[in-house]
A and B are shown apart, each in its own frame.
Chain A
Amino acid sequence: MTNLTHLNIAQALEGLKKKEFTSVELTQAHVKATEEFRHLNAYVTETSELALKQAAESDARRAKGQVGLLEGIPLAIKDLYCTKGVRTTASSRILDNFVPPYESTVSGNLFRDGAVMLGKTSLDEFAMGSSNTTSAYGNVISPWKRNNGDNADLVPGGSSGGSSAIVAARAAMGATGTDTGGSIRQPASFTGIAGIKPTYGRCSRWGIIAFASSLDQAGPFARTVEDCALMLRSMAGYDPKDSTCADRPVPDYTAALTGNVKGLRVGIPKEYNVEGLSPEIAKLWDQGKDWLKSGGAEIVDISLPHSKYALPVYYIIAPAECSSNLARYDGIRYGVRAEGESLNDVYMNTRAQGFGDEVKRRIMIGTYVLSAGYYDAYYTKAQKIRRLIAEDFARAFEKCDVILSPTAPSAAFAIGENQDDPIKMYLNDVFTIPASLAGLPGMSVPAGLDSQGLPLGLQIIGKAWDEETVLRTGHFVETAANFTAMPQMLMKKAA
């Protein structure tokens, strides 16, 4: 029998349809893989029993001819999505015992369409980080290793690191992520899989634990662009419970994957050729241009002049919104409470014990920039530059249809590297943050390996609401790159 965990979603849907296997069999194979890869620490909570129950229900539905878009497909859900009756922690001690009495709209959409949940994946605490090393439940390890024999444990990227690691390890067919400044795209790049952050407003944020509300957006991880298209179609859509969620029809994204980029205008932002860009990444970027050119696309030089200010702007706006959003964790209505003599002491102690250092840093930065006397100098100033950044993109998109860039400035680094200085860690998101600030869709596609054998991704940024062109371009790049490398941990298993 085929190795069920090495199928992609589209293939598995076909196999289920042809009755080659059942959802229970498919799910059992993934539950077994979950156990084999437990050392990656990708899950905060495994839900194997629930998964097998959902799979049996899915098989029963299928027998009756009720077949959803993702009927019977086992997926992992980032532990930032509230799941009814299943513990949801945001990888924070402060929510260690939180069991939501409701379901997030996006995870609910996936279940409506027949998906099966394998577990809740770990993340950087409250999605604040780029390495999955700020989780209260320990580091997540990537299934990839450098080929130099150093055997160092590598980060899976962040914040959606549990999701990226488990999909790369072939222990889940796809996973949900959230992307505030790059938290889907950078982990996808680090682990050799695909991931898309849709336009801000495409997916409902209702029931997803908030970090920075004007930036947070849900999106899928999968091993192919087609699978991302399938998942996004299910996840997206209007929700009256999120006032920023757009009432627009959701296209059949798979129909956009035509393989044709003839006449497509691909913008290359000169500002992304940053000082110190690794020659390997520059080479891959050039390779991407060549692939698209050979398919009949036109390469256009563009300028996004305010790019260099995107990181500082983000590190004002995101902490400002986080300090406000995280004010709700006070140990009174839910979460873990620390005792204190007065009510104020309860608040102070609960938050001091419940939050990790990165979260505290961002809450304090946010509190500072929103405080009297600093508001205009920092927060208003950042919001003004945010407009200039959005206008840069609007002008660029008069000349091009999509933008091509590297996803991240490096391949995955070892756990512990980049830890000494917060700013060094923040630089990971230099190519992903500008599109986040402008609310634009962006996707990472695995495009090659570096000299150490680690995956590198290329990023495709599109116009607002034009995920279809992003996916079409991503699909073309994916086909041209023919990325077949597998994480070493899987090779070892097979051998």
Chain B
Amino acid sequence: MDKATVKKVATLARLAITEAEQEKFATQLGGILKWVEMMGEVNTDNVEPLANVVNIDLKLRPDIVNDGDIRDAVLANAPEALEGFFVVPKVVE
């Protein structure tokens, strides 16, 4: 993995990254990706991917509101809130 790829991935993941970090992560991530290559030894033709190990049927419930009126609780942890809204930097010029 090269520095440019690290930078691209970091941008996709919304992580600001310094030159020095690009270097360090390129080596470490490259090492991990090389290590996982051993998965290639396994024949997985006709094997279904397993996403969920728990064999239970999802339950249905009535589509009714069972929560709400907690605006202040929702906003309580916001770094910046004003008049019942989250505040973010200006996004439209």
Interface residues, chain A, with chain B CB atoms under 8 Å away:
97-99, 101, 200-201, 214, 240, 243-244, 246-247, 306, 308-309, 312-313, 315-316, 323, 327, 330-337, 340-349, 351-352, 355, 360-361, 363-365, 367-368, 371, 378, 380-388, 390, 421-423, 437-439, 464
Contacts of A316 in B (CB 8 A): 36, 39
Known: A312-B39, A344-B14, A351-B16. A421 touches B52 (CB 8 A): no
Complex Cα gap A335–B44 (Å): 42
- List 11 A–B pairs whose Cβ atoms lie within 8 Å, in order of A's numbering: A201-B54, A316-B39, A347-B14, A349-B16, A364-B25, A365-B33, A383-B49, A384-B49, A388-B42, A421-B31, A423-B31
- A384–B70 contact, CB under 8 A? no
- B56–A244 contact, CB under 8 A? yes
Complex Cα gap A385–B1 (Å): 24
Instruction: List residues 40-54 of chain B with CB under 8 A from any CB of chain A.
Output: 40-42, 44, 47-54
CB distance from B80 to the nearest CB of A (A): 7
Interface residues, chain B, with chain A CB atoms under 8 Å away:
1, 5-6, 9-17, 25, 28-29, 31-33, 35-36, 38-42, 44, 47-54, 56, 58-59, 61, 70, 73-74, 76-80, 86, 88-89, 91
- B89–A343 contact, CB under 8 A? yes
Known: A332-B86, A365-B32. A352 touches B79 (CB 8 A): no
CB distance from B55 to the nearest CB of A (A): 8
CB distance from B36 to the nearest CB of A (A): 4
Contact pick for A200, options B28, B54, B79, CB 8 Å: B54
Q: In terms of DSSP, what is the predominant structure of the interface of chain B?
A: loop
Complex Cα gap A244–B56 (Å): 7
- B91–A343 contact, CB under 8 A? yes
Complex Cα gap A148–B44 (Å): 49
Complex Cα gap A384–B50 (Å): 6
Known: A201-B54, A247-B56, A383-B51. A363 touches B13 (CB 8 A): yes
Contacts of A98 in B (CB 8 A): 77
Complex Cα gap A246–B58 (Å): 10
Contact pick for A352, options B15, B49, B74, CB 8 Å: B15
Q: What is the number of contacts between chain A and chain B, taking CB atoms within 8 Å? A: 161
In the complex, residue of chain B having the shortest beta-carbon distance to the beta carbon of A376: B49
- B35–A363 contact, CB under 8 A? no
- B53–A332 contact, CB under 8 A? no
Known: A351-B14, A360-B25. A240 touches B61 (CB 8 A): yes
Complex Cα gap A331–B87 (Å): 10
Contact pick for B52, options A214, A342, A349, CB 8 Å: A214
- B32–A387 contact, CB under 8 A? no
In the complex, residue of chain B having the shortest beta-carbon distance to the beta carbon of A331: B79
Complex Cα gap A381–B44 (Å): 7
- B89–A341 contact, CB under 8 A? yes
In the complex, residue of chain A having the shortest beta-carbon distance to the beta carbon of B44: A384
CB distance from A100 to the nearest CB of B (A): 8
CB distance from B66 to the nearest CB of A (A): 10
Contact pick for B59, options A101, A247, A347, A381, CB 8 Å: A247
Contacts of A423 in B (CB 8 A): 31-32, 35
- B78–A332 contact, CB under 8 A? yes
CB distance from A194 to the nearest CB of B (A): 24
Contact pick for A367, options B9, B42, B59, CB 8 Å: B9
- B39–A214 contact, CB under 8 A? no
Complex Cα gap A335–B6 (Å): 26
CB distance from A340 to the nearest CB of B (A): 7
- B28–A361 contact, CB under 8 A? yes
